[in-house]
Structure 1
Amino acid sequence: MADDALSETRKIVRQVLVIGALSVLLAAAVHFPLVKRFARGEFRENFLSQEDYPGIRLITIQEAEDLWAVGEAVVFDARLERPFREGHVPRARNLPATGSRQKIPPDILELQRERTLVVYCEGGDCQSSLALAKRLHDEGFTDIRVMTGGWEEWKKAGLPVEAGDAEK
């Protein structure tokens, strides 16, 4: 009787190991093309390397609100103009991250390069704020903060909002 229980346990363990090994092989086969693309650096633009971008760091909604409340930072909304007009952080400037072809306006380029800049986009998995932060960094700005959670988290936290045209 004890031998039967031990034999049954071994059989179950063997089945679990086989299923686990097959799962690993299947996952590797399915994701191999993505792993190859990652190794070639195709997803590099979606990551923030502190070595390449030492002036950019991620901050929480609370940290962004603290900087905004005391007027210590210039806030940029990286979304397109229409969503910006529908609602944004008060005093934020609309600077869509629509690609590197769009020039950064001269009045922004006239800001002191050490000035604290806070950048946000829609939220969650939005990459626009990161893309804009990298562009600003490439223009020489040295203190850029990317607000994680973006506009959605700002609204959800019940923080001040305004709608309408961009601040000039």
Structure 2
Amino acid sequence: MVTHVEKLGMRRYSGMFKNALETVCNIRPENITSKMACLKRALGRSEAVLAVCKLPSILLMSERRLSHKLEFLRMEFGLEPSYTAHGLAILAYDLEKRVMPRHYVIEVLEVKDLVKKDIDLYIVFAYTEKKFVGKYIDRYSERVLGLADAYAAACAGKIPEIQP
């Protein structure tokens, strides 16, 4: 198992080595290989190794779910592989209940010129629900009528059209 972890690019004395070892012990070797191939296709070899070294538990995600999230982040948000590899927490968040609704709110606020266009999505997704609502929903609800309702609908899986 130690050899498998080292083959993933993890250094034996890394702080994440123990986590990687625990992860590898819970996955069949052929699944590790296929998930690494998926990561390499989406991120590139060096970024895939970086991703696994930073967050070994990424290998516990199903290959279908992993590839879906990576593709969505690249196609819908235009996130570069290096950004995704460095901000891996994004992959841990629920796409439909957290990532997409928050992205919707940010898009609405960008269209209305209430937030800057190059806002760091990693930070937006990482906020607790309370902090996100306070910073983006409550703060702008008077200037963008229906924002709270639109966010609630988006969280329920019904992403509304962005109104200019």
TM bracket (short chain) = under 0.3
Q: Larger % of helix: which?
A: 2
**Normalised TM-score (structure 1):** 0.27
Say which one has the larger Rg. Answer: 1
**Normalised TM-score (structure 2):** 0.27
Q: Larger % of strand: which?
A: 1
